Homo-oligomer: A and B are copies of this chain.
């Protein structure tokens, strides 16, 4: 046996795993707002917390074929919602991207380069790297807006054809980026991809569940979404949307056979290692939140969420030496602000860069990175108007305290 003892010390160490962030504080953490559970998801979480709970009534050996709870229906509904032919759950949006690239690599073995925008999340790069592919970035307009121009995608495709004599394997657009929260319209880039007959993937990890997406209208072949980032689901769960023309490439059935037993598993999908790892809480909470997701991505609610972010931005502009980065007005509430004003305060503050997070925390607001004062990222998504106004007021109050207004 091992050296680890079951004793009070061990028990105590893991006895207090509680999280008060959302109960006692307003959490403005940029990656946390979209994943907060709906009341319906909470209820289902409590019912389906145990291990493999969703698979009680698995009769066909495949999670995507479970009828009770209504997984089959859900996958159809969510495909309708995104207006794409098929949707399968995955471990996360990063996995959806990795799968799409793998599938295409096998279909087009000569194409070795993926064109991505220069605001891509690190996981887009890792999906490329783990598929042994090359990356080609599309530039942005740089400081302070970091805008992507669709014609730069065309230029990158043409340049690649010239350099390599091959089409890119895939073009990836980050719908809303992690850094500036810039919204990028997929349609013009989808049209360019269609023109060149290049598969087009929309990375909607920060947008699917927050903004409406119509894949068909934007000529999107593959869609990567994140339940825990933006669809009010308990992590981890992603979605992979894909067009019918890639159905057989994605849904690769197992062909291996036991040399003695002759066992085979033709019903199991290799791409997902049988079933994607979303067997309990992740899928059930995503399903429970789905009606709310449909509702909150209706135009009027999306507009309200943009108004909240723009309200904060409009009001804090009066602070000296502060600059909002990215495109304005905001369409997505993830916001990045340069704050040389606070950085200067930090230089002589006894708590150094930590002072800013602490000032906010004292006033009931959490989610700022500790130790950093020169840049703030926040997300007002789904805060009430009262909370948005309070956050703005706190922001101004701290600025006033340090004579920055």
A interface residue numbers (CB < 8 A to B) = 1-6, 10-11, 13-15, 17-19, 21-22, 27, 29, 31-32, 34-37, 40-53, 55-56, 59, 69-70, 73-74, 77, 80-83, 91-92, 94-95, 98, 118, 122-123, 125-130, 135-137, 139, 212, 214, 227-229, 232-236, 238, 254-256, 258-261, 263, 265, 268, 270, 273-274, 277-282, 284-285, 287-288, 290-291, 294-295, 298-299, 366-367, 369-370
* A385 smallest CB distance to B (angstroms): 21
A3-B83, A236-B277, A236-B280 given; 12 more Cβ-contact pairs under 8 Å: A17-B40, A27-B56, A31-B55, A32-B52, A35-B53, A45-B46, A51-B228, A51-B235, A52-B229, A91-B91, A91-B236, A94-B273
How far is B280's CA from A37's CA once the two chains are assembled, in angstroms?
A: 12
Contact B122–A228 (Cβ < 8 Å): no
Contacts of A288 in B (CB 8 A): 14, 17
- Which of A47, A127, A214 has its CB near the most chain B CB atoms (within 10 A)? A47
**Which of B5, B49, B56, B125 sits near A234, CB closer than 8 Å?**
B49
Contact B17–A35 (Cβ < 8 Å): no
Contact B273–A130 (Cβ < 8 Å): yes
Contact A285–B47 (Cβ < 8 Å): no
- Which of A37, A44, A53 has its CB near the most chain B CB atoms (within 10 A)? A53
Contacts of A95 in B (CB 8 A): 273, 277
Contacts of A82 in B (CB 8 A): 2
With both beta carbons as reference points, the residue of chain B lying nearest to A10 in the complex is identified as B291
* A273 smallest CB distance to B (angstroms): 5
Contact A36–B10 (Cβ < 8 Å): no
Contact A214–B51 (Cβ < 8 Å): no
Q: List 18 A-B contacts (CB under 8 A).
A: A6-B298, A14-B74, A17-B284, A17-B287, A31-B51, A31-B52, A52-B235, A59-B370, A92-B273, A95-B273, A123-B274, A125-B265, A126-B273, A129-B270, A130-B273, A135-B259, A137-B261, A236-B278
How far is B56's CA from A22's CA once the two chains are assembled, in angstroms?
A: 11
Contacts of A139 in B (CB 8 A): 260
How far is B82's CA from A7's CA once the two chains are assembled, in angstroms?
A: 17
Contacts of A31 in B (CB 8 A): 51-52, 55
With both beta carbons as reference points, the residue of chain B lying nearest to A284 in the complex is identified as B17
How far is B353's CA from A371's CA once the two chains are assembled, in angstroms?
A: 65
**Which of B29, B44, B118, B129 sits near A261, CB closer than 8 Å?**
B118
**Which of B14, B43, B234 sits near A50, CB closer than 8 Å?**
B234
**Which of B3, B287, B370 sits near A14, CB closer than 8 Å?**
B287
Contacts of A123 in B (CB 8 A): 273-274
With both beta carbons as reference points, the residue of chain B lying nearest to A15 in the complex is identified as B40
Contact A137–B40 (Cβ < 8 Å): no
* A24 smallest CB distance to B (angstroms): 12
* A356 smallest CB distance to B (angstroms): 15
With both beta carbons as reference points, the residue of chain B lying nearest to A285 in the complex is identified as B49
How far is B14's CA from A233's CA once the two chains are assembled, in angstroms?
A: 14
* A120 smallest CB distance to B (angstroms): 8
Contacts of A69 in B (CB 8 A): 17
Contact B36–A273 (Cβ < 8 Å): no
Contacts of A369 in B (CB 8 A): 59
